[in-house]
Amino acid sequence: MKNEFRIKKINAKEEVEFNNKEKIVFWKELRELIMLYYDMNVLDDAEFLLLYDLYNPQNLDLPYDIMDLLNICLTSTYFQYNGKHYKQLHGTAMGSPVSVVIAEIVMQNIEERALSTCRQTIPLWLRYVDDTFTAVRHDEIDAFHNHLNEQNTDIQFTREVEENGKLPFLDCLVSHNDNSLRTTVYRKPTHTDRLLDESSYNPTSHKATTIRTLTRRAQLVCDSTDSLSDENKYLHRVFTKNNYNNDFIRRNTHRPTTTTETNDTATPTTTATIPYIKGMSENISRILLPFNIRVAHKPITTLRQLLTNVKDKDEPRNRQGTIYKINCSDCQASYIGETGRNLTTRLTEHRRATRKGDVSNHIAEHHRLTNHNIDWDSAQCLTYSTDYFQRLTLESWFTNLEQTPLNRCQQLPAPYKRLIHDINITNDRKRTT
């Protein structure tokens, strides 16, 4: 036993023995997300029944041809890019609830087949989604790597082998020395220590969670007193660098609870998510607290909204769910309308109604009574909403802002009327100056 040592599985109770001639290896699927791959032939009857049970928790007497419905969901994937529509031929849709389950079944199928047919003895195999931590004899790494890649030509693995007895895995740095494995927190070389700054326009709860999360990770990952102490000192310097004072750091540092402690905090009956407005959002949280309603704050504007656009923008007139405005060419009259379709389709209907003299159409009736021309070319989208009741409210709001609206709309509550009154007075003053 001199050349053997024992290690503990990460987040597991059982122990595994392996020889010190073996090296720890980090395997990663070449595709960033395994859910990009999908093959109906991979699912055997037993795996399909597992999938069937996952999506049928009440054991309803559903027909077995639900497999056909599943096939339709996974193969009928369309997307738009650069103004053109495409069909995805391989892989499952990103964001689809069933994609995660399919990906896990496919990955289990591959690893079970690979481990049951390999010639090497693998004492350790830990997988998290598409990242795997394992131990292999150093002279068998290439052979085992090739064996993994032979399981499926569409899913290929890359590898990282320990260097100087160290190997990063997820956010852990695993050290292999003195016949033992030690873990501490791992940070990439590009890490900048930039956190949510104390002066940033964010809820205090988000700032407190930043400290609590990082200190909790240190307590979970660091497996020795010395490494935990070094990590806590490093975190304190980082928190100070991001303008947190010592008292705030001390109050929000994570403190582990024992299993015997009970949580007397009542479970919230519901959660309300509201945009964060400094001063107002905190008051709303305090008002709702006695009613056992938890309030979650979200930022009004994020860097992702400002800097990225992952989808093609629709032309304003082709966007679904719009509140629009049509002006008269010969007077100040205007028409505010809403539609769940796009503006191009709705304008075609208005033009047809005007040509036919449809008395139920307000634009057509205005044209018939006054013989005024309608300025179709200047029709514009004011705002968008896919919710019908929101569109009705927005239509009423913009209609009440007009001086001579052609259309009728629903009545707005008194606070809205006061705001509209103030806005109209301000606009009148601007026009007279």
Q: Is 132 exposed, middle or buried (0-12, 13-18, 19+ CB in 10 A)?
A: buried
User: pLDDT at residue 151 above 80?
Assistant: yes
Is 162 found in the same domain as 89?
yes
Residue type (1 letter), 111: E
Question: When comparing pLDDT for 109 and 211, which is higher?
Answer: 211
177 lies in some domain:
yes
Tell me the residue range of the domain where 224 lies.
Answer: 204-252
Q: Which residue has the tokens 């006054």?
A: 370
Is 334 found in the same domain as 414?
yes
| 112-149 pLDDT per residue, tens | 888 889 888 888 888 888 888 888 888 888 999 999 88
Is 120 found in the same domain as 220?
no
Is 179 found in the same domain as 70?
yes
261 lies in some domain:
no
Is 366 found in the same domain as 287?
no
Is 292 found in the same domain as 227?
no
Q: What is the reported pLDDT for 72?
A: 78
3 lies in some domain:
no
The packing angle between helices 97-117 and 141-149, to 10°, is 130
Is 143 found in the same domain as 32?
yes
Within 13 A of 403's CA, how many CA atoms are on the CB side?
10
| 272-283 pLDDT per residue, tens | 888 888 888 888
Within 13 A of 253's CA, how many CA atoms are on the CB side?
13
Q: What is the reported pLDDT for 21?
A: 59
Q: How many structural domains compose the chain?
A: 4
User: pLDDT at residue 62 above 60?
Assistant: no
Q: What is the reported pLDDT for 140?
A: 87
Burial of 231-261, coded b for 16+ CB within 10 Å and e otherwise, reads beeebbebbeebebeeebbeebbeeeeeeee
The β-bridge relationship of strands 293-298 and 270-275 is parallel
User: pLDDT at residue 325 above 80?
Assistant: yes
User: How many angstroms separate the most distant Cα atoms in the chain?
Assistant: 103
Q: Which tokens sit at 251?
A: 């109050």
Is 139 found in the same domain as 56?
yes
Q: What is the reported pLDDT for 30?
A: 46
Is 95 found in the same domain as 12?
yes
What is the chain's mean pLDDT, rounded? 80
**231: pLDDT confidence band, cut at 50, 70 and 90?**
very high
Question: When comparing pLDDT for 191 and 138, which is higher?
Answer: 191
Q: What is the reported pLDDT for 27?
A: 60
**8: pLDDT confidence band, cut at 50, 70 and 90?**
very low
Q: What are phi and psi of 298, to 5 degrees?
A: -130, 145
Query: What are the percentages of helix, strand and coil residues in the chain, rounded to 5?
Result: 40, 20, 35
Q: What is the reported pLDDT for 351?
A: 94
Question: When comparing pLDDT for 433 and 79, which is higher?
Answer: 79
Question: When comparing pLDDT for 421 and 360, which is higher?
Answer: 360
Q: What is the reported pLDDT for 262?
A: 60
Residue 204: left if φ>0, alpha if ψ -120 to 50, beta else—which one?
A: alpha
Q: What is the reported pLDDT for 188?
A: 92
Q: Is 39 exposed, middle or buried (0-12, 13-18, 19+ CB in 10 A)?
A: middle
353 lies in some domain:
yes
259 lies in some domain:
no
User: pLDDT at residue 212 above 90?
Assistant: yes
258 lies in some domain:
no
pTM, whole model, 2 decimals?
0.62
**258: pLDDT confidence band, cut at 50, 70 and 90?**
low
Is 289 found in the same domain as 370?
no
**Beta-carbon count within 10 A of 338 CB:** 24
Is 365 found in the same domain as 218?
no
d(CA 419, CA 231): 54
Q: Which of 39-43, 324-328, 425-429 has the weakest average pLDDT? A: 39-43
Q: Which of 58-72, 75-89, 290-304 has the weakest average pLDDT? A: 58-72
262 lies in some domain:
no
Residue range 400-419: mean pLDDT, rounded:
80
Is 334 found in the same domain as 208?
no
Residues with Cβ within 8 Å of 319's Cβ and at least 6 positions away in sequence, in order, are 342, 343, 381, 384
Contact 394, 383 (CB under 8 A): yes
- Cα 330 to Cα 327, 372, 417: the distances in Å are 9, 6, 29
Residues with Cβ within 8 Å of 418's Cβ and at least 6 positions away in sequence, in order, are none
Question: When comparing pLDDT for 126 and 46, which is higher?
Answer: 126
Q: What is the reported pLDDT for 234?
A: 96
d(CA 8, CA 23): 15
**Beta-carbon count within 10 A of 37 CB:** 20
Q: What is the reported pLDDT for 23?
A: 66
103 lies in some domain:
yes
